[in-house]
Amino acid sequence: KQEVTQIPAALSVPEGENLVLNCSFTDSAIYNLQWFRQDPGKGLTSLLLIQSSQREQTSGRLNASLDKSSGRSTLYIAASQPGDSATYLCACRGDSSYKLIFGSGTRLLVRP
Amino acid sequence: KAGVTQTPRYLIKTRGQQVTLSCSPISGHRSVSWYQQTPGQGLQFLFEYFSETQRNKGNFPGRFSGRQFSNSRSEMNVSTLELGDSALYLCASSLLGLAASETQYFGPGTRLLVL
């Protein structure tokens, strides 16, 4: 059974800092991994989707990497801004399971 | 292009009642997935519908059911509500669904409070 863990649960950084969010999964047989952002009381916004055959994906200041063999993904945010404050969630879709398994998220606060 | 819409946005019910939530996907999307989000359990997959057929189901009791119409709009029904059903219910849509490797687009959610 796939389990997804995100560490740390919460993170507070000053504006301008580069930061890394971590996601680990127990079953390496994943089809893809996605990173989402959730603002308080809102739905999820997709940030990046990494196919199982890919090592990383980039969008603007965001870079996500995937290492299936070690069961890890990281989301790198460059030059953080207060507008980046949100909860970041990763989710895996298994090779044989058509469902997304979510981590519990990292709550990020970027201080002005 | 309009995003995923969910109605109602907020709902208060009492134990034992039933509730129906609605989700309208992005135009052209044929897959709708439903999720429950609670502080204790996080985000959990309920089920996915594609072209009016339930394609996959999570580990929830039979009180949770859904359906999809020919225009891809989907409804989720919870019968005999329990206090623990209080949650944010999110739906997501995509063109081909979870069988393909594509981005899921989420709606704003329906916040259900069971008293």
The tens digit of pLDDT for each residue in A61-74 reads 999 999 999 999 99
B104 touches chain A (CB under 8 A): yes
**Alpha-carbon gap: B4 to the closest alpha carbon of chain A (Å):** 10
- Write the residue in B42, B101, B106 that is nearest to A43 by C-beta: B106
Burial of A8 (0-12, 13-18, 19+ CB in 10 A): exposed
Question: How confident is the prediction for chain A on average, in pLDDT?
Answer: 93
The reply to whether A105 touches chain B by the CB within 8 Å rule is yes
pLDDT digits (tens, 9 = 90+) for A25-81: 998 888 899 999 999 888 899 999 999 899 999 999 999 999 999 999 999 999 999
Q: Which among A55, A78, A57 has a CA at the least distance from the CA of A68?
A: A55
Q: What is the distance in angstroms between the Cα of A112 and the nearest Cα belonging to chain B?
A: 27
Whether the per-residue pLDDT at B101 is higher than 80: the answer is no
Binary contact (B101, A49; C-beta < 8 A): yes
B 6-65: CB under 8 A from A = 33, 35, 42-45, 48, 55-56, 58
Element counts in chain B: helices (H) and strands (E):
0, 11
The yes-or-no verdict on residue B103 having pLDDT over 90 is no
Task: Output the pLDDT for position B3.
Answer: 93
pLDDT in tens, B71-97: 999 999 999 999 999 999 999 999 988
Q: For residue B83, what is the DSSP state? A: G
Listed by number, the residues of chain A in 46-65 with a beta carbon closer than 8 Å to a beta carbon of chain B are 46, 49, 51
Q: Tell whether the model's pLDDT for residue B25 goes beyond 80.
A: yes
